[in-house]
Amino acid sequence: MEQKVREEFAHTLVIYCSDGRFAPACEHFIRQTLGEEWYDRFIVPGGAAWLCLDVLTVWEHEMARRHISFLVDAHRIQRVILIAHQSCGFYERYRLSPERTVQKQTADLQAAARILHERFTGIAVEAYYLRIVDGQPCFEPVTLQTPDEPLPSSAPRA
């Protein structure tokens, strides 16, 4: 079937892992549930993990920063969708338990969202965690801090 190439840039960017086992589920979720038919993709092992700077991702962080900045500026990206997934090989380098791995992935999604909000004003960011439940993909929204939301205060109430 003939498919025309669109002339306009997409204004949504999706960042997820290269692992091909999860790509069809991610694409289906983005189209059917999130309603995005047309979007840019930054697909690398570990996905949003590349945005988070730590001793094991110095090189990845620099690459992600450059390429994502290019896309957001050149294509005037307004919405960014981050997806992390269960059993992600990228996270094996941290040698954590399965529970701690999920915690790190969630923290990375939150940190990536914060980095994107700091770098690009007015951008909308959302994040999801893909779990496998009875062999089926299950996308759970990850709570993110919005830029206007004050940091949780531990100060005692008057």
Of 57 and 117, which CB lies nearer to Zn ion in the complex structure? 57
Among 72, 88, 109, 142, indicate the residue that binds Zn ion (CB under 5 A): 88
Q: Is 19 in the site for Zn ion (CB under 5 A)?
A: yes
What's the sign of the alpha-carbon dihedral 61, 119, 15, 11?
Answer: negative
CB 43, CB 16: distance < 8 Å: yes
H runs (alpha helix) in the chain: 23-28, 58-74, 98-119
Tokens 């900045």 -> residue: 69
Q: Is 130 in the site for Zn ion (CB under 5 A)?
A: no
Tokens 């994107």 -> residue: 116
Among 10, 13, 14, 17, indicate the residue that binds Zn ion (CB under 5 A): 17
Q: CB under 5 A: which stretch of 30-38, 70-78, 81-89, 112-120 binds Zn ion?
A: 81-89
Of 72 and 83, which CB lies nearer to Zn ion in the complex structure? 83
Return residues touching Zn ion (CB under 5 A): 17, 19, 88
